[in-house]
Amino acid sequence: MATLGNRKNTADIIQRHQFDFRKKYGQNFLIDNGILEKIIESAQITREDCILEIGPGIGTMTQRLAEEADEVVAVEIDKNLIPILDETLAGYENVTIINEDILKVDVHRIVDEHGGKPLKVVANLPYYITTPIIMMLFEKHVPLHSVTVMVQKEVADRMQVGPGTKDYGALSLAVQYYAKPELITKVPAACFMPRPNVDSAVIRLTRYEEPPVKADDEEWLFAVIRASFNQRRKTLANGLANAGNLALGRQQVEETLAGMGLPVTVRGEALTLEQFCILSNRLLKIRA
């Protein structure tokens, strides 16, 4: 089987199988071998690794992953791609294809069935569902070593920025609580078929053994963070006091902020992860 990381071979197999791109799945296949090699290199794959690939498409990256890793588990939601994957991956005995929605897959079971070692996730993620997939992997505490993904450049920017920037928000804080983000490379829209409307980027998230801050209640921490950014134009005190699920009074919030040396007019985008952790721990005691 010819390698797929170029326009001609990708077009040939799509035409042969009469495959129709489905907009609802955000399907854009990589046709640049240089970018493909950067992803494989940055994922730091060894012969001991089990790789979870989300959205293998026609198997472009899957082929290279299978050549480097011990095992590859590829989860593809589109049943129309399964016959193509059966063809393109026919020569790779270490690949398992699962035709399901990754958000409904028991990833812990995949870990258990493949030796119990932490997974390395590698994926070209559909733009529309990037954040839910990333957060599912982290919040369910799936045993992970790293997540190396191609995402919309704007989303990659949000994952790695710090306080005081327009891209800083709940996703930034969540990712940085669980992992160390590192931007690997930018990827122009011309590297895909069909060509998307925006550029992409490859980012590697290396999972922390322990979070860099200590939250007394992780779920509560992220409830506070989400409420802090739900209405970005409002002050942090307003956002938290207006969040019905938190059951906090404005005076409680303002007194807690003052106790941290913060002005009552401060906005969520000004706080570091450490400050959010301190704030949530103190608010949790008041709420209790």
Instruction: Name the band, by pLDDT with cuts 50, 70 and 90, for residue 244.
Output: confident
> Residue 73: beta bridge partners?
52, 96
CA atoms of 188 and 199, how far apart (whole Å): 5
Q: What is the pLDDT of residue 195?
A: 93
**CA–CA distance, 75 with 158 (Å, rounded to integer):** 26
Per-residue pLDDT tens over the stretch 111-132: 999 989 999 999 999 888 999 9
In Å, how far are 224, 247, 253, 283 from 286, measured between CA atoms?
13, 10, 9, 5
The pLDDT value given to residue 1:
56
5: confidence class by pLDDT, cuts 50, 70, 90:
confident
Domain ranges, ordered by start, for the chain: 7-207, 218-287
- Reported as a pLDDT band with limits 50, 70 and 90, residue 288 is low
Question: Per-residue pLDDT tens for 66-84?
Answer: 999 999 999 999 999 999 9
Question: What per-residue confidence (pLDDT) applies to 274?
Answer: 98
What is the spatial distance between Cα 49 and Cα 90, in angstroms, rounded to a whole number? 21
What is the CATH topology of the domain spanning 7-207? Rossmann fold (3.40.50)
Q: Give the mean model confidence (pLDDT) for residues 3-11.
A: 87
CB 224 within 8 A of CB 240: yes
CA-to-CA separations, 49 to 11, 52, 69, 184, 283, in angstroms, rounded: 31, 10, 5, 21, 42
- CA quadruple 274, 147, 77, 191: dihedral sign: positive
Is residue 231 over pLDDT 80?
A: no
What does the mean pLDDT of the chain come to? Answer: 94
> 10 or 127, which is more confident?
10
Answer yes or no: are the C-beta atoms of 57 and 31 closer than 8 Å: no
**What is the SS3 assignment for the chain?**
CCCCCCHHHHHHHHHHCCCCCCHHHCCCEECCHHHHHHHHHHCCCCCCCEEEEECCCCCHHHHHHHHHCCEEEEECCCHHHHHHHHHHCCCCCCEEEECCCHHHCCHHHHHHHCCCCCEEEEEECCHHHHHHHHHHHHHCCCCEEEEEEEEEHHHHHHHHCCCCCCCCCHHHHHHHHHEEEEEEEEECHHHEECCCCCCEEEEEEEECCCCCCCCCCHHHHHHHHHHHHCCCCCCHHHHHHHCCCCCCCHHHHHHHHHHCCCCCCCCHHHCCHHHHHHHHHHHHHHHC
Query: Domain 218-287 is of which CATH architecture?
Result: Orthogonal Bundle (1.10)
Q: Report pLDDT digits (tens) over 255-268.
A: 999 999 999 999 99
- 208-222 confidence digits (pLDDT tens): 999 999 999 999 999
pTM of the model: 0.92
283 pLDDT above the threshold of 90: yes
Instruction: Please report, as a single letter, which amino acid is at residue 215.
Output: A
Cα–Cα nearest to 96, from 70, 78, 130, 125: 70
At 287, the pLDDT band (50, 70, 90 cuts) reads confident
pLDDT at 144: 96
Q: Select from 150, 279, 126, 141 the least CA-distant residue to 216.
A: 279
pLDDT tens profile 129-151: 999 999 999 999 999 999 999 99
C-beta of residue 102 within 8 angstroms of C-beta of residue 77 = yes
pLDDT of residue 2: 60
Is the CB of residue 43 less than 8 Å from the CB of residue 146? yes
Q: What angle do CA 43, 200, 183 make, to 5 degrees?
A: 45
Percent of the chain whose predicted confidence (pLDDT) is above 70: 99
Looking at residue 66, its pLDDT comes to 97
Residue with the bigger pLDDT between 4 and 50: it is 50
Sign for the pseudo-dihedral over CA of 5, 72, 28, 159 = negative
Q: What integer is the mean pLDDT of 275-283?
A: 97
